[in-house]
């Protein structure tokens, strides 16, 4: 059953332009009505018009966001928030969301995987079905986040996280973009986002020594259930984002530790061979 009080989005052909404001607005963003724009019912992308004070919602095909990347980028779609229903929701819809939240990892992790498409360098795709994804455990989520940045994603071996540094770290990496999004959510009191997802994507073509030509992209998508916040931050979405950040930072830290151990082993081997 469709919710009865969500914010409606009008349709135009405007494409996504920029992301959320890079710094939390100070003083707070005036609570003026936002501009909505859309081109397709498939998914919705949140962006902001300059001077980055009034948010502009744009609705567009996911692939349109990733024009600079190939036709089959590596995508990871994560529904954020332990609670996917809003306070005034009808009782049957509320129970449906509640059941779903308890079956998926939403309640436990504050987010769940809602779609994934991973391709290895031979072009082999791994795209689990919705039925499969909805049964993901916390361990599956952790492993999928690792596969997303591995050069052996479709293999049965342990994901090697070869691209963790290139995709997750750095000033243009997904972690930095998530932290930027988190900073915005700590301050924005315009909207509450229910059942909204983040879509992370990059292209592993043109990979040169673990670095890519295009930077990884992160976008907010799916705004069917966006409500006015009544001056309160979206603590439900924010909690989920913090949890996702922790998951990703752990993968990145593990990778650094592995690299550091490998370096130490290599140094030991070099010392050993030079002493022989």
- For the chain, counts of helices (H) and of strands (E): 8, 10
Return d(Cα 38, Cα 10) in angstroms, integer: 6
β-bridge mates for residue 115, sequence order: 77
Binding site for a second copy (CB under 8 A): 27-28, 82-83, 87, 102, 107-110, 138, 186-187, 189, 230-233, 235-236, 238-240, 242-243, 245-246, 250, 253
Can you read off the two tokens belonging to residue 184?
């915005």
- Provide the minimum distance between the beta carbon of 50 and a second copy in the complex, in angstroms, as a whole number: 25
- Provide the minimum distance between the beta carbon of 136 and a second copy in the complex, in angstroms, as a whole number: 14
User: Quick one: 13 exposed, middle or buried, by C-beta within 10 A (0-12, 13-18, 19+)?
Assistant: exposed
Nearer to a second copy, 47 or 105 (CB): 105
Nearer to a second copy, 119 or 192 (CB): 192
Return d(Cα 6, Cα 33) in angstroms, integer: 14
- Provide the minimum distance between the beta carbon of 56 and a second copy in the complex, in angstroms, as a whole number: 24
Can you read off the two tokens belonging to residue 48?
């902001």
- Provide the minimum distance between the beta carbon of 190 and a second copy in the complex, in angstroms, as a whole number: 13
Task: Determine contact, residues 44/58, Cβ cutoff 8 Å.
Answer: yes
Nearer to a second copy, 34 or 110 (CB): 110
Nearer to a second copy, 89 or 161 (CB): 89
């Amino acid at each position: 059953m469709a919710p009865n009080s969500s914010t409606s989005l009008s349709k135009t052909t405007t494409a996504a332009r920029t992301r959320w404001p890079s710094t939390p607005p100070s003083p707070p963003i005036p609570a003026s009505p936002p501009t909505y724009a859309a081109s397709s019912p498939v998914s919705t992308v949140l962006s902001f018009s300059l001077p980055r004070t009034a948010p502009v919602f744009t609705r567009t095909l996911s692939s349109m966001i990733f024009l600079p990347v190939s036709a089959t980028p590596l995508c990871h779609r994560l529904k954020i928030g332990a609670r996917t229903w809003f306070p005034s929701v009808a009782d049957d819809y509320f129970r449906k969301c509640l059941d779903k939240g308890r079956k998926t990892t939403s309640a436990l992790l504050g987010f769940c995987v809602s779609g994934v498409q991973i391709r290895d360098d031979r072009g082999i795709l791994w795209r689990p079905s919705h039925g499969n994804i909805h049964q993901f455990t916390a361990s599956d989520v952790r492993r999928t986040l690792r596969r997303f940045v591995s050069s052996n994603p479709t293999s049965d071996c342990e994901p090697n996280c070869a691209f963790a540094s290139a995709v997750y770290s750095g000033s243009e990496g997904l972690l930095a973009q998530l932290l930027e999004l988190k900073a915005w959510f700590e301050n924005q009191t315009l909207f509450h986002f229910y059942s909204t997802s983040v879509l992370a994507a990059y292209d592993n073509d043109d990979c040169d020594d673990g670095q890519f030509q295009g930077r990884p992209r992160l976008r907010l998508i799916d705004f069917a259930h966006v409500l006015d916040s009544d001056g309160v931050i979206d603590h439900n979405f924010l909690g989920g984002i913090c949890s996702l950040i922790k998951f990703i930072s752990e993968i990145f830290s593990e990778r650094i530790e592995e690299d550091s151990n490998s370096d130490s082993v290599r140094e030991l081997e070099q010392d050993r061979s030079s002493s022989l």
